[in-house]
Amino acid sequence: MADKNYTELLNDLKDNKIKELVVKPDEFTEFQVAYMNFDTRKRVIGKADQNGVITYTYLSDSGTNS
């Protein structure tokens, strides 16, 4: 598995370049480091699916997920 740049992916989510970010259980530890250092992490909303997969979206200024 190639390492993902989660900081870049979180910025893409924030900038609406991507609609969602899917994180699998084996990626979570690496993702969490970027997430905890992300300046607007309180706007990143995660929804847990089966098997520990989490889909993140970004809460826009209008109050809705983009």
Residue at 49 is within a domain: no
Number of domains the chain is built from: 1
Share of the chain above pLDDT 90, in %: 82
Q: Could you tell me the pTM of the whole model? A: 0.86
Residue at 50 is within a domain: no
Determine the structural domain holding residue 24 and report its residue range. 1-39
* Confidence at residue 66, expressed as pLDDT on a 0 to 100 scale: 56
Closest CA to 41 of 66, 11, 17: 11
34 contacts: CB under 8 Å, gap ≥ 6: 5, 6, 7, 9, 10
Residue at 47 is within a domain: no
Q: Encode pLDDT of 35-51 as tens digits.
A: 999 999 999 999 999 89
* Confidence at residue 49, expressed as pLDDT on a 0 to 100 scale: 94
Residue at 19 is within a domain: yes
Which parts of the chain sit beneath pLDDT 70?
1-2, 62-66
